[in-house]
Amino acid sequence: MPNRADVRPVLSPSAPSAPLPPATKRGFAVLRAYLALTKTRIIEQLLVVTVPAMFLAERRAGGGSIPSVWLLVATLLGGAVAAASAHALNCVVDADIDAKMKRTQGRPLATDQVPRSHALVFGLVLGVISAVWLGLTTNWLAAALAVAAIAFYVLVYTLLLKRRTAQNIVWGGAAGCMPVVIGWAAVTGRVDWPALVMFGVIFFWTPPHFWALAMRYRDDYAAAGVPMLPVVAEPVAVSRRIVAYSWTMALWSLLLLPVTSWVYGAVAVICGAWFVVMAHRLHAAVRAGQPARPMRLFHLSNTYLCVLFITVALDAAFGLPVLTWPF
């Protein structure tokens, strides 16, 4: 008989974790659906341009090179909630369009994951929260600008322009330019000309960015009855306008030179030239009847905007000497 002390228990393999209850799974699915209404990827891009605007505003205001962490967090959180509000309300208005487009058929309202009435309340509540939060933690000018951006995106772009004119994204895109102005106002309590220059960079960047995407998904927009420029104009006319806006954007970005250093100037020139060359290549391919590959320009546009604004932030954060100008 073996000694009891020598007998070791046989270790059984660990039992698999119990599956989540159906109610919990449904809860997570609903949470994901509401999160999808906010279009988080677009929010990330909006926040990328907000921080550099705040850095430059802090430097111009003479308070240093970097705003306080609390102000950054408060502004980014308020801006993110404001953008989420605008996107959720946009989904409510465009539910019928989203159901007809392959690119958007999986959105929560198109698949009936969220009732439209609930999404409407969700979007409105987010808008109120963002305004109150920004007003209490930054200033009421920033809060008012956030409310104006939400209203413009929903009422002007989504309801008035999107289904009626090929200029929809040109003027409607102004709402997407507001984060830089909101960030500037949060730091300084006012809106100065560098904020308007950054606003203009994004304003002129939006048509080439979005028209490239619309060229790729032209059939989707046509099926939904949305008169995006690639739907109502010949491809050559679209690519020609992309070239024109690309040149305007690249040249406009140089207007920040009086408040930046040679580092920003070099990056703005190089990246702007790169963007213009790619726009011309797209136009040349369209004119020659060759595969245009507009998504190359679309992805490049995201990279361009990130690099340009990150350079603004680094320029301000390191306090690089501002170029000397006679004005």
The torsion angle over the Cα atoms of residues 120, 126, 130 and 131, rounded to 10 degrees, is: 40
DSSP 18: P
CATH code assigned to 33-317: 1.10.600
Three-class DSSP category at 167: coil
| CB-based contact 177:202 (threshold 8 Å) | yes
User: In this structure, how many other beta carbons lie within 10 angstroms of the beta carbon of residue 315?
Assistant: 26
| CB-based contact 161:90 (threshold 8 Å) | no
DSSP 112: T
Residues 212, 209: Cα–Cα separation, whole Å: 6
| CB-based contact 249:272 (threshold 8 Å) | yes
Mean pLDDT of the chain: 89
Identity of residue 257:
L
Q: What is the pLDDT of residue 23?
A: 62
Give the pTM.
Answer: 0.88
158-182: average pLDDT: 93
189-198: average pLDDT: 96
Three-class DSSP category at 162: coil
> By C-alpha distance, which of 127, 145, 126, 128 is closest to 187?
145
| CB-based contact 66:55 (threshold 8 Å) | yes
Q: What are the tens digits of pLDDT across the range 53-85? A: 999 999 988 766 789 999 999 999 999 999 999
Per-residue pLDDT at 112 exceeds 60: yes
